[in-house]
Amino acid sequence: MTAPETLLSVQGISKAFGGVQALSGVSISVARGSVYGLIGPNGAGKTTLFNVITGLIAPDAGCCTLDGRRLTGEPVHRVVQMGIARTFQNIRLFHQMSALENVMVGMHARSRTGALGAILRTRTVREEEARLEADAHALLERVGVEAHANDPAGSLPYGLQRRLEIARALASRPNMVALDEPAAGMNASETASLRELIVGLRDGGTTVLLIEHDVRLVMGLCDRVAVLDHGQLIAEGVPAQVQADPAVIEAYLGAPAAEPGARAAGRPH
Amino acid sequence: MPEARSAAPPAASRAGPAGSPLARSVLSVLAIAALLLAPFLVDALLGRAWVRVLDLVMLYTMLALGLNIVVGFAGLLDLGYIAFFAVGAYLYALCASPHFGLHLPFWLLLPAAALVAGLFGMLLGAPTLKLRGDYLAIVTLGFGEIIRIFLNNLNAPVNLTNGPQGITLIRPIEVAGVSMAKMHSIGPVSFPSLYNYYYLFLVLTLLVIFVSARLQHSRVGRAWVAIREDELAASASGVNTRNLKLLAFAMGASFGGIAGSLYASFQGFVSPESFGLMESIMVLCMVVLGGMGNIRGVVLGAALLVTLPEALRYIGPLQRSLFGQVHVEPSDLRLLLFGVALVLVMRWRPAGLWPSAVRRREFVAARAAAGDMPGGPGISTDGKPSP
C-alpha cells in the first residue's frame, strides 16, 4: 500500500514481564495527521505498547521512531519534548492543583524558566508566565473545562477529568497524542463530545493514537486500526477490513470462527 | 507574645487581599513597625533572654523553609536535613576560628555555605532519585547520621573537625566593619549583640521567604508540586523529574547551609551533638505542624516550636509559687506536651495549623471573577508527601 508520510514508526517491539510475553515483535506505522486505533482484549498488551512508545518502559527488542528520530532509550520527559504526549488509562491528574495549573505543568517541556529566573522574575519570565497562562486558558476552553479553571483537578467530575487530562497532554503542543481509553466510563453524550474533540484534534493537524474499547467509537473515528492479542499484532488495516478479519473475531470471542459472517456483524466485544 | 509578632507579616498579607488597599497598606506598615521594634518590645516586656529566642525563631524559620522546599513542595521526605545545617555551621566554624587560624569574611562564607550545602544536597539527592516515601526517609536519615558521625570522628589522624569537643571561639559576624557581637549605639538608642543578630537574621529570613515564594509560584514550583502529586504523570507531562528533584534537594540544603553558618557565628561554638536526629525531626515537625508546603504555615510552625519550649520553662517557677515545690520538671513536660500537641494537630488538622487550603483557592477564584486579577495562580500545598 502507498502509505502517506509516516510519523510514528514502531519496529519489532518485544517486551516480557517475567514469564509473560507482553509484546512480541509488534510493528506498526502511524501516518501523520491520522487517527490510529489500537484495540484488543484485556491484557493484549495495548497499554504496554503505549508505555514503550512514551518511554515509560524500555523494550527488550525493537525501537520506535518519531519523524525519523529514535524515541527508544530516551527518558520520558524527552519523549514529550520530541512530540508525543499521552493520557493514562486510570486518570493521573495532579489532584491538589487547579485545572489551570495542571495544564501549565503540561507546558513544562516548551517553557524555559529555571530557578534563578523564577527568583529574579525577570521580564522574560513574566512574559513567559503570562503566555503560558493565556495558552492554558485557551486549552481549557477548547476541552470545555474553562469554567473550572481554578478548581482543584481532583474535585472535577469524572468526564471533565478525562478532558482535563487531554488538555494537559495537548499543552506540550505534541505532534501526536496517545490517548489510553479516553472514553472509558463515559456515557453516550460524553463519548459523542469526546469524538468531536478528537476529530477537531485531527483536523488541527495532530496525529492521534487511540486505545479504546468502545468499538463503535474506534470504527467510526479511526483511519486505521491495529489489533493486539496476547502481545501479537493479529490484524492491521482500515476499520472495515479489520472488523471482518476472522482472527480478530476469534480473539474477541475466544471461539473458532465457525460462522465468521454472522458473528462479525455483532459487536466483537 | 514573640510568636505572634514573628507571624505578623503573614497575617498582614493574609488579611490584605480581603481588605481594601488602604487597610492593606496600614497593615503592612504595622507589620513592618512590629518587626523593626520587636527586639525592643520583647526585651522590655519579657527580658533579654527572649530576644535570643526571637533570634532563634528567625534561624529556625530559615531552616524550616529550606526543608519545606524538599518535603513540602517536592514531597521528598528528608529525615537527615539537619546535616546541611551542620555543613553550613562547620564550614563557617572552620573558616572563621582559631582552629585553622582562618578568618575569612562573612560575605564570602555565607554564599560559600549555601553553595557547599547545596552540593551536599545534590550528593544526597543523586543516589536517592529512584526512592520514594519510607525508603527515601531511611536513606536520608542515614545520611544525616553519616555527616554527624564524620564530624564526630574527623579529629584523627588529621584534626579537621576537632571531634566531639567541637570548635570554639568562632568569630562573630562582621557586616561592613560592624561586629554583631558588640554593643552599638545610634544616638540614644543602643543595640546589644542580640539586637544586631536579630536585624541580620530578619533580613536574611525575609530573603529566604521571598525566594521560597518566588520559587513556589513559578514553573519550577509547579513542577515540584506535580512531582509530589504524581511523579510518573509529571514526567509524562514533560517534567525532568531527575533535575527538579536534585534542584529541590540543592535549594533546600542551601537554605540549611545559610542558617547553619549564621548559627555557628551566633553561638560562637559548634559541636556534632547539635546536629542529631532529634534536630532533624524538630525541623520536620515545624514544617508538618505549621502546614506543609505553605510558607506562612511553616513560619508559624517554626515560631511556635521554638518559643513554646522556652515558655514552658516558666512552669517550674509557677509550680513553686503555687505548691511551694516543683512536682513536674519543665524539661520532662516539654517533650510530653510536644508529643501531645503533635498527636492533636495530626488528628484534627492533618494538613497543618495553617494549610493553604482549597478554600483559599476559592477566594482567588472569587477575586478573579470580581475583576481583580490575582498576581498568579496559587499552588495548593496542603498535600502529604506521596507514598
Q: B361 to chain A nearest CA, in Å?
A: 7
Residue A89 lies in a domain: no
Choose the mutation target among B219, B224, B372 for the interface with A, i.e. most A CBs under 10 Å.
B219
User: Can you tell me the distance from the alpha carbon of B35 to that of B43, in angstroms, rounded to the nearest whole number?
Assistant: 13
pLDDT digits (tens, 9 = 90+) for A159-183: 899 999 999 999 999 999 999 999 8
Residue A37 lies in a domain: yes
User: Can you tell me the distance from the alpha carbon of A78 to that of A71, in angstroms, rounded to the nearest whole number?
Assistant: 8
Partners of A225 in the β-ladder: A37, A237
User: Can you tell me the distance from the alpha carbon of A16 to that of A60, in angstroms, rounded to the nearest whole number?
Assistant: 7
User: Can you tell me the distance from the alpha carbon of A223 to that of B44, in angstroms, rounded to the nearest whole number?
Assistant: 81
Range of the domain at A114: 94-171
**Taking CA B245 as the corner, what is the angle to CA B376 and CA B305, rounded to the nearest 5 degrees?**
75
Q: B193-216: string of b/e by CB count within 10 Å (b at 16+)?
A: bbbbbbbbbbebbeebbebbbbbb
**B371 φ, ψ (degrees, to nearest 5):** 95, -5
Residue A105 lies in a domain: yes
Residue A63 lies in a domain: yes
Q: Hey, what's the cell of B176?
A: 561592613
pLDDT digits (tens, 9 = 90+) for A83-129: 999 999 999 999 989 999 999 999 998 888 888 888 988 888 899 99
- A166 and A178 in a single domain? The answer is no
Tell me what pLDDT residue B327 has: 77
ipTM, 2 dp:
0.89
Tell me what pLDDT residue B245 has: 95
Residue of A nearest to B383 (CA): A96
- A215 and A267 in a single domain? The answer is yes
pLDDT digits (tens, 9 = 90+) for B316-363: 788 888 888 777 777 777 778 778 888 888 888 877 788 765 434 444
User: Can you tell me the distance from the alpha carbon of A82 to that of A77, in angstroms, rounded to the nearest whole number?
Assistant: 9
Boundary (domain end) residue, out of A149, A171, A193: A171
Inter-chain CB proximity B377 and A104 less than 8 Å: yes
Using an 8 Å CB-CB cutoff, list chain A residues near B233. 88, 92-94
Up-side HSE of residue A159: CA atoms within 13 Å toward CB?
13
Residue ranges in chain B whose pLDDT is less than 50: 1-17, 358-365, 371-387
Choose the mutation target among B216, B222, B242, B294 for the interface with A, i.e. most A CBs under 10 Å.
B222
- A129 and A209 in a single domain? The answer is no
User: Can you tell me the distance from the alpha carbon of A82 to that of A76, in angstroms, rounded to the nearest whole number?
Assistant: 10
Boundary (domain end) residue, out of A124, A141, A171: A171
Cβ-contact A177, A170 below 8 angstroms: yes
Options 1.10.760, 1.10.3470, 2.40.160, 1.10.150; CATH for B2-369 is: 1.10.3470
Inter-chain CB proximity B233 and A94 less than 8 Å: yes
Residue A88 lies in a domain: no
Give strand ranges (E) for chain A: 6-17, 20-31, 35-39, 61-66, 69-70, 84-86, 176-180, 207-211, 224-229, 232-237
Residue A98 lies in a domain: yes
Residues within 8 A of A (CB atoms), B 238-257 only: 238-242, 247, 251
CATH number for the domain that contains residue A180: 3.40.50.300
- Burial of residue B370 (CB within 10 Å: 0-12, 13-18, 19+) is exposed
The count of domains in chain A is 2
Boundary (domain end) residue, out of A108, A143, A171: A171
Give strand ranges (E) for B183-281: 184-186, 189-191
**Taking CA B122 as the corner, what is the angle to CA B121 and CA B123, rounded to the nearest 5 degrees?**
90
Q: What is the mean pLDDT of residues A233-253?
A: 87
Each domain of chain B, given as residue ranges in start order, spans: 2-369
- A234 and A123 in a single domain? The answer is no
- A190 and A268 in a single domain? The answer is yes
